[in-house]
């Protein structure tokens, strides 16, 4: 059963960690006919981080799309995600989308009606080209006619476009009986990945409801947390 989120504050991203992802110099998936628009990624960033592409709160998630460092590096990102430009963050996110689908951003993608890998158009990770040393040619003296200084036109600046924030609908937590069995969170885990791995009926929503007392945000869990498994 699908449930909505409890508070509007649940905007942190739980990106699944990639173990042994082989990226190299090839594209991860064939480009789709229609790539996700910049406005779509802006809406995801607005939901995940309030639209702050340089955010780093110290919780292990970085940038406008709230990457974990392991996911960022596995999909071709270099340096820190929050220090990269929005265009670079979107480029890495396109590769994540092609591999994992919109479920990598479970709360915000569901709220925006994004499913599967619709709009995936990843750019391949390119190896740095080897630069050959340029051949220097002795300059030939030539008579140059004097030129008038160019006239500089004042630049025209466009007014910035403000994107309306996406408001999260409140989520009502259902009473979910637990089985008595537990699961200890490991690095890189997400609720959706745990629910799929253990075959939890009701998916990550049921797992989140069963642990509402210890999970304030279903997109933010920590290694070492002990989760109660719902009764099947």
User: What are the pLDDT digits (tens) for 132-188?
Assistant: 556 565 555 555 555 666 656 666 565 554 544 444 445 566 678 888 889 999 988
User: What are the pLDDT digits (tens) for 188-197?
Assistant: 889 889 988 8
Distance of alpha carbon 55 from its chain centroid, rounded?
13
Band (33; pLDDT cuts 50, 70, 90): very low
Distance of alpha carbon 77 from its chain centroid, rounded?
11
CB atoms within 10 A of CB 34: 10
> What is the distance between the alpha carbons of residues 77 and 70, in angstroms, rounded to a whole number?
9
30-39, 86-95, 142-151, 175-184: least confidently modelled range = 142-151
Q: What is the pLDDT of residue 89?
A: 95
Q: What is the pLDDT of residue 183?
A: 93
Percent of the chain with pLDDT over 70: 62
Band (92; pLDDT cuts 50, 70, 90): very high
Q: What is the pLDDT of residue 129?
A: 54
Residue 64 φ then ψ, to 5°: -60, -30
Residue 32 has pLDDT above 80, yes or no: no
Domains and CATH numbers, the chain: 38-112 (1.10.530.10), 178-230 (3.10.350.10)
pTM (predicted TM-score): 0.42
Q: What is the pLDDT of residue 117?
A: 83
> What is the distance between the alpha carbons of residues 204 and 209, in angstroms, rounded to a whole number?
9
Q: What is the pLDDT of residue 213?
A: 84
> What is the distance between the alpha carbons of residues 131 and 135, in angstroms, rounded to a whole number?
12
> What is the distance between the alpha carbons of residues 180 and 78, in angstroms, rounded to a whole number?
42
DSSP 9-54: T-----PPPPSS---TTS-SSPPPSSPPPHHHHHHHHHHHHTT-TT
Q: What's the rounded mean pLDDT across residues 195-200?
A: 88
User: What are the pLDDT digits (tens) for 96-127?
Assistant: 999 999 999 999 999 999 988 877 677 665 54
Instruction: Name the residue among 188, 174, 190 with its Cα closest to residue 227.
Output: 190
Q: What is the pLDDT of residue 124?
A: 67
Mark 67-86 as b/e (b = at least 16 C-beta within 10 Å).
Answer: bbebbbbbbbbeeebbebeb
More confidently predicted of 133 and 198: 198
Residue 76 has pLDDT above 90, yes or no: yes
CB atoms within 10 A of CB 14: 25
Question: What kind and span of H or E run contains 110?
Answer: helix 106-111
User: What are the pLDDT digits (tens) for 203-221?
Assistant: 888 888 889 888 878 888 8
Q: Which residues contact 8 (CB under 8 A, 6 or more apart)?
A: 167, 168, 170
More confidently predicted of 214 and 27: 214
Q: What is the pLDDT of residue 102?
A: 93
Q: What is the pLDDT of residue 74?
A: 94
């Amino acid at each position: 059963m699908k449930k909505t989120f409890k508070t509007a504050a649940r905007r942190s991203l739980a990106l699944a960690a990639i173990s042994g992802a082989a990226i190299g110099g090839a594209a991860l998936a064939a480009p789709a006919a229609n790539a996700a628009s910049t406005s779509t990624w802006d809406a995801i960033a607005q939901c995940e981080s309030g639209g702050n592409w340089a955010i780093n709160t110290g919780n292990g998630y970085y940038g406008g799309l709230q990457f974990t460092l392991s996911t960022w590096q596995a999909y071709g990102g270099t340096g820190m995600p929050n220090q990269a430009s929005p265009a670079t963050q979107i480029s890495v996110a396109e590769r994540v989308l092609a591999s994992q689908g919109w479920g990598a951003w479970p709360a915000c993608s569901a709220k925006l009606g994004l499913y599967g890998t619709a709009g995936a158009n990843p750019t391949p990770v390119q190896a740095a080209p080897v630069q050959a040393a340029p051949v220097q040619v002795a300059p030939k003296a030539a008579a140059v006619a004097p030129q008038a200084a160019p006239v500089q036109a004042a630049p025209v600046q466009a007014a910035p476009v403000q994107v309306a924030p996406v408001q999260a609908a409140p989520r009502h937590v259902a009473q979910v009986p637990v089985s008595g069995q537990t699961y200890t969170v490991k690095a890189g885990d997400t609720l959706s990945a745990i629910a799929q791995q253990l075959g939890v009926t009701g998916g990550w929503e049921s797992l989140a409801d069963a642990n509402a007392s210890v999970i304030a945000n279903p997109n933010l869990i920590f290694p070492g947390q002990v989760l109660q498994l719902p009764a099947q």
